[in-house]
Structure 1
Amino acid sequence: MFDILAIISPIYIAILAGYAATRMGLFSKADMRVFGKFVINFALPALIFNAISQRPIAEVLNAGYMAAYLGGSLLSMALGFLCARRLAGLDHVGSTFAAMGVSCSNSGYIGLPILLLTMPALASVALAMNVIIENVVMIPLLLMMAESGREGAGPAHRVFFQTAARVARMPLVLGLAAGLAMSLLGWSLPAALARSVTLFAQATGALSLFVIGGTLVGLPLRGMGPGVLAIAIGKLVGHPLAVLGVASALSWVGIAPPGPALLAAGVVMAAVPMLGIYPILAQAHGLADRSAAALLVTTALSFLTLSTGLWLLRAHA
C-alpha cells in the first residue's frame, strides 16, 4: 500500500502546491485561468496529437476500450440522472448536471498524470480515446440535455448543431483530428516541428495539476450535503464500477473486451474526479455553487478512493 501512496502522493502534492501558491497570493485566480487556457489550448492538444499521430490507428482506437468506457459512462450518466430526478427531486437541468458530475472525468488534468506515473505506456493512448468519448459524445449530449430543459432553448436540432459547432472548434478536438489524419496517412512532422510539439506536450502533467489546486481556492462551500456527497461517491466509485461492469459484458454482444492493462487504465480514468470546467458549465444554468462544492468534495475524497483502487488493481494484476 505504501508504494501506491508513493506513486499517487506527487499528484496531490502538485495540487496542494497550486492551492497554497494561490492561497498565499503568489498567483491569483486569474493566473490559474491563464495557465488553464494554456494547458487546454496548447499543451493537451499537443499531447493528444503526439499520442495519436505516432501510433497506428488500430492501436489508438481500441474498440473494446471505447465500448467499455463509453458504455460505462452512459450507464453512470443515466443512473445519476434518474437518482437525482426521482430520489433527490431535482429538476431536469439540476439532474442533468448531477449526471455530468458522475460520468465525465477530468482525464487530462488528473487522469493523465496518474497514468503517466502508474501506466506510462498506456497513458497517452487512453487519454486520446477518452478525449474522443468525452468531447464527441458525453459533453455534447449532456449540454444538449441541459439546453433542452431551459425555457426558450429553441428546437432540438438547433441546439444540436450549435453544440456540435462549438465542440468542433475546440483545440482538443482539432488536435485529435490532426493526429488521426497523420496516423491514417502515415505522415510524420519535420524533426524541428515535432520537437516543438513535444515541448508543449511535456508541459501538461505538472501544470495541469497545479491549475486544479489553484482553482480550488475560494470555491463556495454552500450546498454541501447528501446531494453533493452522492455525486462524489457516484463519480469516484459508481463510474469505475460501471466501466468495469460493461467491460465484463462486452463478450455477450460479440465485442472483444480490452486487455487487462488497458481496462485497468480505463477504470483509473473513470475513478478520477469530474472535469475541472464542471462548475463553469453549470454556471450558465445557475448551478455553479453546487457544482463547485461537488468538485471540491470529490477532489478531496479521491485521494482515498484512488489509493484504494490502485492497490486493488495491483493486487489482482
Structure 2
Amino acid sequence: MHALFSAFAPIWVLTGIGYAVGRGGLLGEQAEAVLGRFVFHVAMPAALFTMVSGASPDVFGHPSMVAFAASTAVAAGAGYVLVRRVFGRGRPDAAIGAMSSGHVNSANLGIPVAVQVLGDASFVAQVILFQVLVLSPVVLTLVESGTEGA
C-alpha cells in the first residue's frame, strides 16, 4: 500500500501545484490555452510516436493484453446493450455508447501514470494500438451501418 501511495503522491502533488498556479494566475490569462495547445500538438504526439514506434507486435499475446482486450469487450458490449435495450436507441447511438464504455484515456493520463507507477509505459502503446486498430474500426462500422440512407 505504501509503494502505491508513494507512486501516486507526485502525481497528486503536481496536480495540486498546477491547480494553485492556475487559480493564482501566475502564468497569465492565456496560460491554460497555450499549455493545452503545447501538450496536445507537441508533447503528446512526440511521446506517442516514441512509444508506438518501439512497440513490439508480439506483446499482443501477453496475458495482460489479453485481459485488457477481454475487459474492453465486456465493457463495450455492456454499454452497447444498455443503450439499445434500456434506452431504446438505434445502432449508431449504441455504438457510441459502447465506445464510451470501453475506451480508456490511455494517452493523456495513461502515459504519465504508467511511467510514474509502473516505471514503464510500453503497455500503453499496445493499448493505444488496440483501441485504434480494433475498437475504433468496429465502432465506426456499427455507426456507419446504422446511418445508411439517413
Change beyond 3 A, Cα 1:94–1:30:
farther
Does residue 124 (structure 1) correspond to residue 130 (structure 2)? The answer is: no
- The separation in 1 between residues aligned to 2:141 and 2:23, in whole angstroms, is 34
Verify the 8 A CA contact 2:75 2:101 in the aligned structure 1.
yes
Structure 2 portions without partners, runs of 5+? none
Residue aligning to 1:27: 31
Change beyond 3 A, Cα 1:4–1:98:
same
Alignment root-mean-square deviation, CA = 3.1
- Larger RCO (CA under 8 A, 6+ residues apart): 1
Matching residue within 114, 129, 144 for 1:147: 144
- The separation in 2 between residues aligned to 1:19 and 1:61, in whole angstroms, is 41
- The separation in 1 between residues aligned to 2:148 and 2:90, in whole angstroms, is 13
Percent identity (aligned): 21
Offset at 1:30? 6.1
Verify the 8 A CA contact 2:48 2:125 in the aligned structure 1.
no
Detail structure 1 runs of 4+ shifted over 6 Å in the superposition: none
Residue aligning to 1:106: 105
Residue aligning to 2:11: 11
Offset at 1:113? 1.9
Structure 1 portions without partners, runs of 5+? 154-317
Counterpart amino acid of 1:147? E
- The separation in 2 between residues aligned to 1:34 and 1:152, in whole angstroms, is 41
- The separation in 1 between residues aligned to 2:5 and 2:138, in whole angstroms, is 36
- The separation in 2 between residues aligned to 1:133 and 1:145, in whole angstroms, is 17
- The separation in 1 between residues aligned to 2:10 and 2:61, in whole angstroms, is 30
Change beyond 3 A, Cα 1:28–1:115:
closer
- The separation in 1 between residues aligned to 2:14 and 2:89, in whole angstroms, is 35
Offset at 1:145? 1.8
Does residue 49 (structure 1) correspond to residue 56 (structure 2)? The answer is: no
Task: Give the paired residue count.
Answer: 146
